[in-house]
Amino acid sequence: MDGQRQLTDTWQANLYERDGWQVVELVPVGDSSVDAYPLATALWDIVADWRPPQMIVDMHQVTFLGSSMMGALVRLHKRISMANGELRLCRLLPHPAEAMHACRLHLVFPIYNEVDEATHFAE
């Protein structure tokens, strides 16, 4: 599934497939600090039919990573893991990367510098 999609009122995504992974490039289109709960559901809907669901979230346009967004990523991670899939993050800007480390979420999510690195690295 390639192309652009409106995920929520405040998030869009550019979607493309790379080496069996659904890549989701998140694009904020409003106040990204508002409740991100609907974002987790919208992202899950993209890979719900994949077996196993494999998603890379490209976050190079996400400048702020608040607790609501972190919660949405954790919910998505749990849902994908329960379906025997994998969620990887890549291209985090400095603030989101610092927030992930401060909350120790870098221990939960594999984080990569580039999409290609995320698709080819075997854990």
* pLDDT score, position 122: 63
Task: Give me the pLDDT at residue 123, please.
Answer: 55
Write down the H helix ranges in 1-123: 37-47, 67-82, 94-102, 115-120
On whether the CB atoms of residues 77 and 109 are closer than 8 A, the answer is yes
CB atoms within 10 A of CB 45: 11
Alpha-carbon span 23 to 87, nearest angstrom: 10
Instruction: Check: CB of residue 7 under 8 Å from CB of residue 13.
Output: yes
Percent of the chain with pLDDT over 90: 76
Both structure tokens of 119: 């698709």
Q: How many whole angstroms separate alpha carbon 22 and alpha carbon 15?
A: 7
Instruction: Count the neighbouring beta carbons within 10 Å of the beta carbon of residue 106.
Output: 15
Q: pLDDT class for 2, splitting at 50, 70, 90? A: confident
Give tens-digit pLDDT for 20-53.
Answer: 999 999 999 977 667 788 999 999 999 988 889 9
pLDDT for the residue numbered 51: 86
Residues 63-101 pLDDT 10s = 988 898 999 999 999 999 999 999 999 999 999 999 999
Q: What is the pLDDT of residue 1?
A: 60
- Give the pair of three-digit tokens for residue 86: 């994998």
Q: Supply the mean pLDDT for the chain.
A: 91
